[in-house]
Amino acid sequence: MIHGIVRPRSDILNSNILNNSRRRSAVFDRYSPASQRGPAGQALIALMFLASAPGALLAAPHIETDTAVATAGYYVLRWSAATTDVEVAEFTNLGAGDPGIIYKGPDRATLISGQPDGTRIYRVREIGTGKSSAWSEPVSVTVAHHPLSRALTFFGIGAVVFLATLTLIVRGARRSA
């Protein structure tokens, strides 16, 4: 009973159904698929599809080294990446064969040592769940160890300095005794 007017039971039911359908419509509009929302919704679906494609939207990371010529026997590679995991590949010749993956994981740098003389080329790419970025621009490092003659010369000079220091210590100890 509304304001003294008796409404038939069927009228009350119809009114409730209408109100419920309006509520459902508002909920449906809020959570409906984007494809039913016109061009903006369709663009959103296209963007989500592109984002799920392999290699999509992952920019190639940047890689750098601390030296172009390594004579000390070691060098450091550093890279920047947006995701958690990367692959670092080493090439001896960029156009020949598959790269050797020397690192795979979340780090942003690695120390390379123990390489024989020659030029190494490195590239990095981001890897994610089911997708990976393009390889970065290559960075090259030339390993050129000091010649053996130079190493032996430094060893000889070190031996002479050691023996001279030992002689001074022994003579000083004898004079003070």
Same domain, 31 and 97: no
Looking at residue 4, its amino acid is G
2 within some domain: no
The per-residue pLDDT for range 104-161, each reduced to its tens digit, is 999 999 999 988 899 999 999 998 877 888 889 999 999 998 888 988 999 999 999 9
Give Cα separations from 51 to 16, 54, 60, 154 (angstroms).
44, 8, 15, 58
CATH number of the domain to which 138 belongs: 2.60.40.10
Look at residue 41 and tell me whether its pLDDT is greater than 70: no
Integer-rounded Cα Rg, in Å, for the chain is 36
Give the pLDDT score at 168: 95
Cα atoms found within 13 Å of the Cα of residue 151, Cβ hemisphere only: 7
Q: Tell me: pLDDT of 165 over 80.
A: yes
Q: Is residue 28 predicted with pLDDT exceeding 50? A: no
The tokens 């123990």 sit on which residue?
114
Give the model confidence (pLDDT) of 51-76 as tens digits: 444 444 567 888 999 989 998 889 99
pLDDT of residue 75: 94
Residue 34: pLDDT band (50, 70, 90) is very low
Residues 71 and 123 reside in one and the same domain: yes
* pLDDT score at 38: 62
CA distance 175 to 4: 129
Name the burial class of residue 177, with classes exposed (0-12), middle (13-18) and buried (19+) by CB atoms within 10 angstroms of its CB.
exposed
Both 140 and 89 in one domain: the answer is: yes
User: What integer pLDDT is reported at residue 91 of this predicted model?
Assistant: 85
Domain contains 135: yes
Largest CA-CA distance found in the chain, in angstroms, rounded: 129
